[in-house]
Amino acid sequence: MKPLFDFLIKLCILTVILWAVIFWGLAPGSVDLKSVTVAWVMVFLNTLAGYLLFDYAFEKKSATFTKVVFGGLAVRLLLMMVLLAVIIAGSYVSAYDFVLSFFAFYCIYVIVEILGYQKKNKQKKNVA
């Protein structure tokens, strides 16, 4: 299976599981769903962008790969920090629910992103 498609399938399955836990695992009304949704969208797009940058740079020269992957990481991290500050300072969402769900989603999705990297590297080794 193509690594990008495999990554997207895993991301979607994980998303369905996480949202099922949020909807049916937590007491109704105990979590601000708007805050959780905003956090999820931010982390989902960040993870997807990270994998796409990795996928783009994968066959490039080492210097280009490093610039794209680590430069992309720095830009994504900076963008996430700015968005976090704007959202929290602007009081657009419940800060507690937003920050808690943001870090929970981030920790889980970064693992999926790293596993996607490893799978793509492993497939390249098997072909060679």
Hey, what are 25's tokens?
């695992």
Question: How confident is the prediction along the chain (128 residues), in pLDDT tens digits per residue?
Answer: 577 788 888 888 988 888 888 888 777 778 888 999 999 999 999 999 999 999 899 888 989 999 999 999 999 999 999 999 999 999 889 999 899 889 989 998 998 888 888 887 787 766 65
State the pLDDT at residue 64: 92
CA distance 73 to 68: 8
Domain residue ranges in the chain? 3-127
Enter the tokens of residue 67: 């610039």
pTM of the model: 0.85
62/68 Cα distance (integer angstroms): 10
